[in-house]
Structure formats: structure tokens, C-alpha cells
Structure 1
Amino acid sequence: MLGLNTLARRFGLKDSRIFTNFFGTDSWSGRTVTPAKAMQVAAFWACVRIIAQTIATLPVGVYQRRADGGRDAAPRHPLFALLRETPNADQTPVEFLEAIVAHVLVWGNAFVEIVRDDRRILALHILQPDAMEVYRDASGSLRYRQNDPRGVRELDEDQVLHVRGFGFGGDLGLSTVEYARQTLGATMATDEAAARVFANGMRPGGVLTYKGERGLTPAQREQVRESLIAPLTGTENTGRTLLLEGNAGFEWQSVNMPPRDAELLANRAWHVEEVCRWFGVPPILIGHASSGQTMWGSGVEQIMLGWLTLGLRPYLTRLEQAMKRSLLAPEDRATFYVEFTVEGILRADSAGRAEMYSKLMQVGGITPNQIADRENLPRFEGGDVHLVNSTLVPINQAGARPGRVQPAPGEPIPEPGQ
């Protein structure tokens, strides 16, 4: 970790965000909250993981918009290979996208260095957001100052893919850790309190009262702690009996803490829901079944659809628009764009996919071979024909003599009445 003097010299004392990332922020609970400590909270880790992994494993592609409003996949575009095969020499596409999304979720910003040869992009390298300073120069242009093992590097706006999280429209997105520090601090304090209770075998202990006329000396107090208190402390000593001799001068009084008074489990459950609320993740998706919900059933399917619309869609749109702005040449932006295929989230619902494909095929929206491509099935001859359901005909053709429902591949479609 960089020293304080090094940070002050390289970034300046006015950049409080840098010091927040390294040294954390205080909370009402007294716990210092940093990104590293926040990731030790189970619910925080689970929310970051499920969003990052889900988005990173969605199919992503580059498409070209046609003049008639349709679109075609553009696998020959250089950006396609970067996003689908090798973004850089060290990461797979899933690892690359996973890191971007995780940085946005935790720090509020993700930075990627764009390595170009003339105008062609050769590689995309992840930059650490906790060592990045964003500022504007005298001309108002956005500049990036990155601290890495080689020292401080200045990067222009066209050298950086900057994905901002939720914010107020400034140069930076808002850090979830910084703004959720009160919730995270309370969660950490609750976890520590629960751990200490369990460390003592769920016994809060008791009061050992000395009945002697004169107080104990420091040496006697230490001897009592070693011989009477230590043997009864810790989970390994649960159930042991305290032995006091008749003339010992001590009286033991147990202190009971009923679960209904402590409510540690209820508090911890409430904090799980609070953390989920910061990320917009339904608690059921990270294994927290609240309000009688179960992990299975049609209700969870509807929750998944709602999460896709309200939870994942904003992140997907941010990624798509940032990539279009920074990774596509200005002359390509009018026709080319990046898009995630969200149908990948519903792959486990075979009945839903079959119904969707059936309806799309009946209206000519998709061909049988396009369905085979999406399901990783082999193509077949004649599968590139668009089909329609012949039960629905234009009203001006109602009652006309029916012809063949579908001509053989390669034959012309007969005119109405033939």
C-alpha cells in the first residue's frame, strides 16, 4: 500500500476520494468502512458477485444496423474479437467484464486503458479505480491520472473507457461503499457482536462477586482471572461447572440473555435486506428467504424478470453506451453498436424459451436455424426460411380459395387465389 506522503505528493491533499478508498470512512457504529472490509460482509459480497457474474456471462456482440431498421451481427468487426475472445493477454472475456462491473458496484467507476495501433484497438487493460484521479485541464478536457508500479501516468480521454455508476451527472459515479457506510458499519458491528456471543458458547457470562472485607490485590485479581474466569470462557468450555470452596469469599451469579431480548438473528436478517436494497437485488437471489418466500416456484421467476428490468438493465445500458462512445470510431457509431443478449438469463426456463421461439417463428420473426444457433444445435437445410401461421390472413383475402400452406424451399410463393 502506498504511504501517506506518497499519496499526498502524487494526488494532492484535496482529492478526498483517494484517501477514502485507502483509509475508509467512519460510521456511527465506530467501524471504519473500506472497500476491502465491505467485501467481507456476506450480503455485500453476494450482491456484487451475482450482478458481476450474471452480466459477465451474458452473450455480448457487435451489431450493424441496416437501412430498413433491421440488424446484422458483425463478427468481423475488431471490437467483436476483443469482447468475445481476448480483451487482453491476461484475462478471459468473463474475467474482464466481471472486473468492470465489480468496480462500478464497489467504487462507482470502472476504468479501462485502451491500447491502440493508429486507430485500431489492440487490447483493453483494467485499471484500478482506487488509484485513479479524474480531473479537467485548463481547456476543460477530461484527464485521467493513474498511479501504477511504474509511477504516475497521464491518460487522455480517448485512452480510457470510463464506465460510471449511478451519480448526479458529474465526472464520477457515486461509490456504494462511501454512501452505504452507515449500513455497512452497523452490519459489521452486528456480525462482531454475534461472533463474540457464539465465542462464549451463547452465554453472556455472569458476575463473580468477592465477599471479602478487603479488596483484591492486582496479583490476586490476575490469579482469579486465570483460575476461575479463563477456564469457563470460550465455546470449548461450554457446559463446565464453576467450583467455589466454602471459604473462597466469592459468589457466582449467572446472567441470562434470552434470544427474544438479544434478537441477533433478526438484526442480521434485517441488515441482509438493507444491503440488498443498496444494490437493488431481491434478497431471495442471494439465498435470503424473507417473508415466507421459497427458493423455487413461479414467484421466483417473476422476481427474476423484475430484477432483469429494474436491476440489471441499467448496468447493461451503461456498459453498452460507454463501449459505443469509447470503443467505436466516430464514423462507426451511426451503424454499429454493442448489445448484451439478456435471453441468456432465462436459459434455465426451457418451457418459456420454447413458447417464445414458437410465437416468434409463427409471425416470421425468427427462422428455425436462428433458433438452432441460440440453442447450440446444428443447422439444417431449409432452416433459413421465415414461416408464418396461415390461420391468420388479411381481411381482404378472407374466403379465398386456400392454396398450399407453405411452398417447398426454392419455389415461388403462389399469389392469392392460385
Structure 2
Amino acid sequence: MGAWSKVRRVFTRDANIVTAEDLLSLAREDRLGGRTVHVTNDSALRHSAVWAALRLRADLVSMMPIDVYRQVQGLQVEVPKPPVLISPGGSEVGIKEWMYSTQFDLDRAGNCFGIITERTGVIGPDGRGLPGRIDLVELGEVTVRAKGPQISKYKICGVDYDPWDVWHERQYTVAGFPLGLSPVAYAAWSIEESLNAQQFARDWFGAGIVPSGTLKNTSKTIDRKNAREAKESFRAAVSNGDVFVHGADWEYKPIQAVAQQAQFVEARQFGMGDIARFFGVPGDLIDAAVSGSSVTYANISQRNLQFLIMHLGPAVGRREDAFSRKLLSNPRYVKLNTDALLRMDPQTRAATIAAQINSRTLTPSEARALEDRPPFTEDQYAEFDRLFGSRSVPTPPPTAPTGATS
């Protein structure tokens, strides 16, 4: 049975109650006996590639300034932000921390949840006051009840909440399913392979466990019963690093590592590439580039632009839409300033600004404002005149006389 069929089966059972952990269990099948690592949203963070990918995306999104606009005569005009977009968690949690936490949950589990504890006097689309404070909650504490694509009830820490009292953002959605899909669940096999390689390495180098070897009696033939007893005695002695004591008739030849286990470094390397794809991050940005492949960019701006367009931009756009619909009243809307990600090197930035000034799309005072500098003073203009012989600031083209035609 396919993974998606199992999602629907679990979601429709037990009065349509499903937790975030249920999604993780769907990606796993029965395992053979042995010491393995069970992958969950929390245990996946032990893998450095998972942590790096989640941290990178959450860091960048949290540092993007959030601006609010409205259209005035066809122009985009910035307006003051409501308090919920400045300190959404009250005085204890600012917008940067709140954005980091929510993006982290969205990227690892496909969902983030919060309880709306305060509302403003502005009426939103649902006929209630717009959210004024949103206290985030842990993913594992949330259960939802739904019928088809509509969620009718949230249970958070054992308390029932109506949908209008809960902030819920989704990512990686599919039609007809009210929750976002969890990348950790679908990447569980890749993550588990790497975590088990780490577990083997810890056992081998830390606990001194011998993975395989031969134990031979050189003086007589051993039947099954005696072989089993010898094996159990030997295993009991060496499993915790103790010394195995025997007579002159036993010969032990350790095998340093089973062939597949000896390749745990390679397994981890290739696992990182899989994880980077699941979490929407280029492998080279988390130091997981596969040997023999390389991509060259002219400058850092091109690299960041490619990452924004191909990986991070769609998630940013969906968050802008969610904020605009749920936190603001029409005709206001939210934009995350992605220029914070597209920072250029000084030489490229200077050339770009100069080209905009010369093409009359940017004034010198606006250019200086971008550099957090005040407009030129008359003394500064005079200094330019002394250095270059004329005012080195572009002037607008002459205006045609009234009534003139082109």
C-alpha cells in the first residue's frame, strides 16, 4: 500500500483524529531485528544535514523585514505594521524569534500551530477581531479532528479549541488533506540510514563492540548446543567491552567490520544529498556537495538569487499570503523583503546603484538612503564641484514648454 493511501487510512480512523507523530509512522515499515534508530521530528535533528537545512531556511526567513502595504492610485504605499507583526508573542517573543520558530516547524513537519490569546478591534474576514497575539505551541501537543479537508476541532495539551482560536499554517499540502505533509516522515529512510551509521560508529569506537568474527575450537568438534553456549558466553563478555577468558583450545579471529558497515562514512555522505533535496536546500549550502559535481556562480548575488527563486521564494510567498489573509484587513497586504537575502558585494552594489542613477530610476538622495546616509548638503556639492569641475549629480531632462507637442 502506498504512503499516501496509508495517510488517508490513518486519518479516517478513530473519528478522524491524527497527530503529527502519526505522519511519521506512515513512512516506516516493519524493521528486521537489531539496533536501529527510530526517526521522529526530534530525533531527526541529531543528523547534522537535517539541522543545517532547517537552520539555514529558518535563519534567512526570520531575518527578512516584514512590510505592510496598500494600493493607493495604483501605487504601492507602505503603511504602519500592526503589533502582531512586531511582537506576535507579546513582549517575550519578537517577530524574528517567532518567524524562526514557525519556519523551523513548517520545514520539518509541514505545519505550525499557535493559540490566539488576544484580538484587536479590527474585524477580520471571519467576522471576529484580527489576531493580536499568537502563542506558539509544540507540534507534539497538537491533535486535530476533521471531516474531509475541513478541520473542526484542535486539541492542544488536552484542551479543545475551535479553528478560529488557533493559528495554523501549512506547507507541502496536497488536495483534500487539511494538514501539511512532513518532510521528516518522507525522508525517514535516508535519515535513518545515516543515524544508524552514526550509531554503529559510536558502538564501534566508543563501546568497543566487535561487530563480527570467528570463534574456533582447535582441539575438538563443537556440536550446536556447545557452540550456542560458547557463543552466548563470548557475547556476554565482549558486548560491554569486558575481557573474554578461554583456554588453549579456543582461537578468536576478529573481523574489523562487515563490508556494508565499513562504508558508514560514504553512507552518511550520500545521505546528506538526499536530505538536502527533501528539505529544499542546495547541498553545497550545507556542505553536503557530492564529490565530482560543482556549480560555479559569477558572484554571491547570483548564488543567493538562485536559492531564492528555486528553493526559498515559494515558501516566502505562501507565508505572505497567510499573513495578508489572516492578520490584516483589506486592502492591506504583507511583503517579506527578500532584499535582505540578495545582498551584493560592495563592487556589484556600487555598480548597480550607479546604473540606476544614470538611468534616472533612482535619485542620489534615495541611493544614499539605501546606504543609511543623509542627502548631500550644499557643502558636499561644493566639494564635488572643486574636485570634478561640475556638479557630479545627474540632473533631470528639461521639461517641454506648455502646449508643445512631440
- Report the TM range for the smaller structure's normalisation: 0.7 to 0.9
**Larger CA deviation: 162-171 vs 248-257:** 248-257
Match of residue 318 from structure 1: 318
Structure 1 unaligned segments of length 5 or more: list them.
Answer: 1-10, 384-403
Matched positions, count: 361
Cα distance in 2, alignment partners of residues 318 and 47 from structure 1: 19
Which residue, 46, 49, 57 being the options, matches 2:52? 46
Match of residue 145 from structure 1: 154
**Amino-acid identity (%):** 22
- CA contact under 8 A between 1:282 and 1:303: conserved in structure 2? no
Counterparts of 1:188-267 in structure 2, within 5 Å, are 188-199=195-206, 206-213=213-220, 229=238, 233=241, 248-257=248-257, 262-267=262-267
Change (3 A) 1:373 1:169: farther
Please tell me whether residue 90 in structure 1 is matched to residue 92 in structure 2: yes
Cα distance in 1, alignment partners of residues 112 and 256 from structure 2: 50
Amino acid corresponding to residue 357 of structure 2 in structure 1: M
**Larger CA deviation: 255-264 vs 37-46:** 255-264
- Please give the per-residue CA displacement for 1:140-172, whole angstroms capped at 9, x wherever unaligned: 975341323xx4132233x44332101113322
Amino acid corresponding to residue 125 of structure 1 in structure 2: D
**Larger CA deviation: 217-226 vs 168-177:** 217-226
Length-normalised TM-score, structure 2: 0.73
Amino acid corresponding to residue 55 of structure 1 in structure 2: V
Change (3 A) 1:169 1:352: farther
Please tell me whether residue 341 in structure 1 is matched to residue 333 in structure 2: no
Which residue, 375, 381, 405 being the options, matches 1:380? 375
Amino acid corresponding to residue 373 of structure 2 in structure 1: P
- CA contact under 8 A between 1:135 and 1:143: conserved in structure 2? yes
Amino acid corresponding to residue 108 of structure 1 in structure 2: G
- CA contact under 8 A between 1:61 and 1:338: conserved in structure 2? yes
Please tell me whether residue 357 in structure 1 is matched to residue 322 in structure 2: no
Which residue, 155, 167, 187 being the options, matches 2:162? 155
Cα distance in 1, alignment partners of residues 50 and 30 from structure 2: 19
Cα distance in 2, alignment partners of residues 92 and 60 from structure 1: 12
Cα distance in 2, alignment partners of residues 303 and 29 from structure 1: 41
- CA contact under 8 A between 1:27 and 1:185: conserved in structure 2? no
Cα distance in 2, alignment partners of residues 27 and 39 from structure 1: 21
- CA contact under 8 A between 1:28 and 1:182: conserved in structure 2? no
Cα distance in 1, alignment partners of residues 336 and 357 from structure 2: 22
- Deviation of 1:130 after TM superposition, in Å, equals 3.1
Match of residue 32 from structure 1: 38
Change (3 A) 1:365 1:285: same
- Deviation of 1:282 after TM superposition, in Å, equals 0.7
Change (3 A) 1:18 1:343: closer
SS in 2 for 1:118: strand
Change (3 A) 1:260 1:154: closer
Which residue, 169, 172, 186 being the options, matches 1:179? 186
Amino acid corresponding to residue 116 of structure 1 in structure 2: R
Match of residue 7 from structure 2: none
Cα distance in 2, alignment partners of residues 166 and 323 from structure 1: 17
SS in 2 for 1:146: strand
Counterparts of 1:233-312 in structure 2, within 5 Å, are 233=241, 248-257=248-257, 262-292=262-292, 298=298, 302-312=302-312
Which residue, 101, 104, 118 being the options, matches 2:103? 101
Length-normalised TM-score, structure 1: 0.72
Cα distance in 2, alignment partners of residues 204 and 153 from structure 1: 50
- Deviation of 1:251 after TM superposition, in Å, equals 1.8
- CA contact under 8 A between 2:108 and 2:183: conserved in structure 1? yes
- CA contact under 8 A between 2:21 and 2:40: conserved in structure 1? no
Change (3 A) 1:131 1:230: closer
Structure 2 unaligned segments of length 5 or more: list them.
Answer: 1-12, 123-129, 379-391
Amino acid corresponding to residue 102 of structure 2 in structure 1: I
Amino acid corresponding to residue 216 of structure 2 in structure 1: T
Amino acid corresponding to residue 127 of structure 1 in structure 2: V
- CA contact under 8 A between 1:51 and 1:312: conserved in structure 2? yes
Higher relative contact order (CA 8 A, sep 6+): 2
RMSD: 4.1
Counterparts of 1:2-21 in structure 2, within 5 Å, are 14-18=16-20, 20=22
